Structures are given as C-alpha cells and as structure tokens.
C-alpha cells in the first residue's frame, strides 16, 4: 500500500486499543512508567525482571518480527536495574540487558536492532556463574545510536553523542562526539553550542503535541471511508 486508506475513526479506535493495552498489560511490568507513553504494537514489547523504570513520553515502535525487550537479571541479593529518562525512543529489535545498571538519559534515540548490555554474561572459563560480572553503562542526554549499534559493559556515552550504524562501542564516547566502526572510533565532532532540536523539545508539551497530531491525522485521512478501506484490502489497485 502506498498510503493509509483507513478512515479517521478506525485510526482513533486502533490507537485507543494500543493505549489500553499499555495500561492493562505492559505498564504493570515496569517499576515506574511515566505519563504519555506511546507504544506501537505493545504486545511485542517484553519487560522481564524487576527495577525497569521509564520517564514520561517514552516512544516504542515494535513489530512482530522486531520485538523490543528490557531484561534485568535479578538474583535476589543483587538485582540489576534499567533507568530510562524522559522522551526516549526505541525502534524495533532494540534489546537492553542489565545484570547491574544501565542508565539511559533524556531524549535518547535508539534505532532498529540496537543492543546495550552491561555484562558479557559468561566468563571465558566459567560459563555457568549465576552472578555474571558487570560494569554499569550510562548514556547521556540526547544520545543517538544508529541501526544495529552495540554498546558493551562499562561504557559511558556523553550528551549529544552519535554512534554510527553497526558500530561496536567498547570504550567511553565523549559528549558531542561522532563515532563509527567496529571497534568504534571518533569520526567527527558536534558544536557543543548546537543549537540542538531534541526530543525533549518535541515532547515537552504532550497536550499540545497530541492536539497537533490529531489535526494532522484528520487532514491525512480526510476523504477516506470505511468502504474505500475495505475495497483497498479486498480489491487493491495500482496506486493504492
């Protein structure tokens, strides 16, 4: 399909269904989940283990073949944790795995298939240790991790830093630095004075943003009808 043939009422009903699913089935698995969460296909999001906290306006886009998972290893005497700031975005296939502590700052942008882990999970010789060694991982504010990037144990990534697609990050990345490669190396710098347009700017007024998006959807779906949507599903034509 080249465009969305749904009538506006169908879009609104689907969005209400997703929001209700988040409240009923997903939110209880978080230790804390801030207001204005937007989760696309929330049934493909897994929260496993305790101490997973997310701030306001988290945005997750999952698919059946690209689930998003937040996993905490939790032996009773030393449970791990995942702390997510405000206005963060997680694309399909993202995996966050904590044996100790992973902190993700406000406005982080994680593209498809990003993996962050604070542990190797198995020792070179001892591969059955129930308490694997770990070192905390910290992402600053407004960090952008490209498609398929990997961030390993003990890494700190500074504010506004960018990690290129498929990069393997095993060392700290200073603020306002662009890295790429495997292993990741510095390939550029950002002006620390910006100006930066961040997800915090976009989502800082959720009510205003919701009103804007509703107006945009109404305009986008103007002219769509239930019969037209059925026709596009049952008898698709070139140009649909």
The answer to whether 22 and 54 are in contact (CB under 8 A) is no
Which of 29, 36, 59, 122 is an active site residue?
Answer: 122
Predicted local distance difference test score (pLDDT) of residue 1: 65
Instruction: Show me where the domains of the chain are located.
Output: 1-30+205-240, 32-197
**DSSP 8-state class, residue 25:** I
Any idea which fold 32-197 has?
A: UDP N-Acetylglucosamine Acyltransferase; domain 1 (2.160.10)
Helices 206-220 & 8-21 angle (0-180, nearest 10): 140
3-state secondary structure 17-85: HHHHHHHHHHHHHCCEECCCCEEECHHHEEEECCCEEECCCCEEECECCECEEEEECCCCCCCCEEEEC
Predicted local distance difference test score (pLDDT) of residue 39: 97
Three-class DSSP category at 33: strand
Cα–Cα separations (whole angstroms), residue 51 to 26, 70, 133, 207: 14, 10, 19, 28
Structure tokens at 160: 């506004």
Over the Cα atoms of the chain, what is R_g? 20
Whole-prediction pTM value? 0.93
Q: CA 95, CA 109: separation in Å to the nearest integer?
A: 13
User: How many alpha carbons lie under 13 Å from residue 239 in its C-beta half-sphere?
Assistant: 1
Please list the pLDDT of the chain residue by residue as tens digits (240 residues): 688 999 999 999 999 999 999 999 999 999 999 999 999 999 999 999 999 999 999 999 999 999 999 999 987 777 899 999 999 999 999 999 999 999 999 999 999 999 999 999 988 888 887 788 899 999 999 999 999 999 999 999 999 999 999 999 999 999 999 999 999 999 999 999 889 889 888 887 888 888 888 888 999 999 999 999 999 999 999 888
Predicted local distance difference test score (pLDDT) of residue 56: 94
Q: Is 134 a catalytic residue?
A: no
The answer to whether 154 and 165 are in contact (CB under 8 A) is no
Structure tokens at 143: 């960090």
**DSSP 8-state class, residue 199:** H
Predicted local distance difference test score (pLDDT) of residue 115: 98
Q: Which helix (H) or strand (E) holds 203?
A: helix 199-203
Predicted local distance difference test score (pLDDT) of residue 8: 94
Q: Which helix (H) or strand (E) holds 21?
A: helix 8-21
- Backbone φ and ψ for 107, nearest 5 degrees, come out as 75, 10
């Amino acid at each position: 399909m080249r465009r969305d043939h749904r009538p506006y009422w169908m879009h609104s009903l689907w969005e209400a269904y997703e929001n209700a699913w988040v409240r009923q089935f997903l939110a209880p698995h978080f230790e804390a989940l801030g207001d204005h969460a937007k989760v696309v296909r929330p049934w493909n999001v897994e929260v496993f283990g305790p101490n997973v906290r997310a701030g306001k306006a988290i945005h997750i886009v999952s698919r059946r073949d690209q689930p998003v998972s937040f996993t905490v290893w939790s032996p009773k005497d030393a449970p791990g944790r995942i702390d997510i700031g405000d206005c963060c975005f997680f694309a399909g296939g993202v995996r966050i795995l904590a044996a100790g502590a992973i902190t993700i700052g406000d406005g982080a942008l994680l593209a498809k298939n990003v993996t962050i882990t604070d542990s190797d999970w198995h020792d070179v010789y001892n591969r059955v240790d129930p308490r694997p060694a770990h070192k905390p991982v910290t992402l600053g504010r407004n960090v952008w991790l490209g498609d398929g990037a990997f961030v390993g144990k003990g890494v700190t990534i500074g504010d506004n830093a960018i990690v290129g697609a498929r990069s393997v990050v095993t060392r700290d990345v200073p603020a306002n630095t662009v890295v790429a490669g495997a292993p990741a190396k510095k390939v550029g710098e950002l002006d620390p004075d910006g100006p930066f347009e961040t997800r915090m700017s976009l989502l800082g007024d959720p009510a205003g943003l919701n009103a804007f998006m509703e107006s945009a959807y109404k305009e986008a779906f103007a002219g769509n009808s239930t019969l037209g949507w059925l026709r596009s599903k049952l008898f698709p034509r070139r140009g649909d």
